Structure 1
Amino acid sequence: MQTNDAFSFLMAWAAAPFRIGSVTPSSATLSALMTKEVGPDTGPVLELGPGTGPFTRALIEKGVRENDLTLIEADSDFAAMLTKRFPAARIFEMDATGLRHMALYNGPVLGAAISGLPFRLISPRRTRLILEGVFANLRPGASLYQFTLGLRCPIDQTLLDQLDLRATRIGHTLLNFPPATVYRISRIPVTKSYDWRYA
């Protein structure tokens, strides 16, 4: 972690603790865990709340092309920093709830979404809007990867059920401050019932 990144993150947290959700950027270990199922063949990737860009760097190191990255960042200082660090990426300075009004590509083609948003501090209504926007842009079979500073999934099970989503824990790391757990959020496959009338 770069010292200037840690300071920038601390200042952003002090200004908006309920929006930032942590006092430090994510560690290299957490970044590796968040991106372990993503690679060069994933295609375009969406990142929510990239902050200073630790997950963004990890994605590029995993082989995702910088120009295949779309970053959604609400903090103006972070957005400006990301623009300088990742000039080939598409960067939108906006609230992630606005995704429901956007078609990022011509159809749902995103291969993955990586989220640094503090859903445990976000209302159920806003969480639903964000998830609807994300999954409207993800291609079939693609997933959202979300971490939480704890053990339980930060998205309420009732909301997951309403949206036909499921959360699968894929790892935990103590080498982050605070320790973090990563979940894969994916659509529940629709199973067609067999009509015995035509058997």
Structure 2
Amino acid sequence: MCDLRVPEPTVSPGVTEAEVVTMQNLQRKCRSEDRSFLREWASAPLRVAAIAPSSATLARIITADIGPDTGPVIELGPGTGVFTRALLERGVKPENLALIELSTAFARRLEADFPGVAVHNRSAADLKEMDLFGGAPVGAVVSGLGLLAMPDDLVLAILDGVFRHLKPGGAVIQFSYSPRSPVRTGVLDKSGYGVERVGRTYRNLPPAFVYKITQG
């Protein structure tokens, strides 16, 4: 959920009225993101695998190795844009970021919140046939998709499409609520992809684990 653990702001010594207004706006935006996420989850709980937006702590972990020198970045299942915002704060240029979001409601919100960022209201399984960044190789892929909730053939289609765009040695940075691999063993055996756990945080609802998926 939004990582904004502050009381209702009020004008006080050392806190100006302008700062109070800024904090109030941030709190309203945070609550709005939570409500949007819950509406989408209620309408499609299997598609929206999480029950709340990812925390800022998880966003920092999952984007830790990405920066302005990474080059083009694809984000799968950005939802309300928590990871998107972190990627931009890491120095990724808007024109070097492509968001793949199946939910039309989320996609419209992302377009409004992140001008200059390409938002594709499509399934991640379409990646194989999509032309992104003029064919330039992608430096990293960040994924918030619930791969464990998907059929094996769909997961394979997504990963095959991802690695069509990734540069050699590139990886999918994937989070999961499971302490075990976010990709089932059967998929790994068929594809030859490898999975390594690289981080975790308990400051998320539920606690989350971060993995790198690579091409063997």
* Same-fold call, TM cutoff 0.5: yes
Q: For the residues of structure 2 that align with 1:89 and 1:160, how far apart are their CA atoms?
A: 32
1:182 aligns with 2:179: no
String of CA shifts for 1:144-192, please: whole Å, max 9, x gaps.
010001201120133223322111100110000000000011112xxxx
Q: Secondary structure at the match of 1:13?
A: helix
- Name the TM-score, length of structure 2 as normaliser: 0.84
Aligned length: 188
Q: For the residues of structure 2 that align with 1:177 and 1:21, how far apart are their CA atoms?
A: 12
Which residue pairs with 1:55 in the alignment? 83
Which residue pairs with 1:125 in the alignment? 153
Which residue pairs with 1:41 in the alignment? 69
Q: For the residues of structure 2 that align with 1:157 and 1:63, how far apart are their CA atoms?
A: 35
CA contact (8 A) 1:70 1:89 kept: yes
Which residue pairs with 1:11 in the alignment? 39
Which residue pairs with 1:134 in the alignment? 162
Which residue pairs with 1:150 in the alignment? 178
Q: For the residues of structure 2 that align with 1:162 and 1:42, how far apart are their CA atoms?
A: 29
Structure 1 gap ranges (5+)? 189-199
- Out of 71-80 and 93-102, give the one that drifted further: 93-102
Q: Secondary structure at the match of 1:142?
A: coil
Q: For the residues of structure 1 that align with 2:202 and 2:88, how far apart are their CA atoms?
A: 24
CA contact (8 A) 1:108 1:138 kept: no
Which residue pairs with 2:57 in the alignment? 29
Q: For the residues of structure 1 that align with 2:135 and 2:88, how far apart are their CA atoms?
A: 24
Q: Which has the higher strand share?
A: 1
CA contact (8 A) 1:103 1:137 kept: no
Per-residue deviation at 1:106?
4.0
1:89 aligns with 2:89: no
Instruction: Report sequence identity in percent.
Output: 43
Structure 2 gap ranges (5+)? 3-29
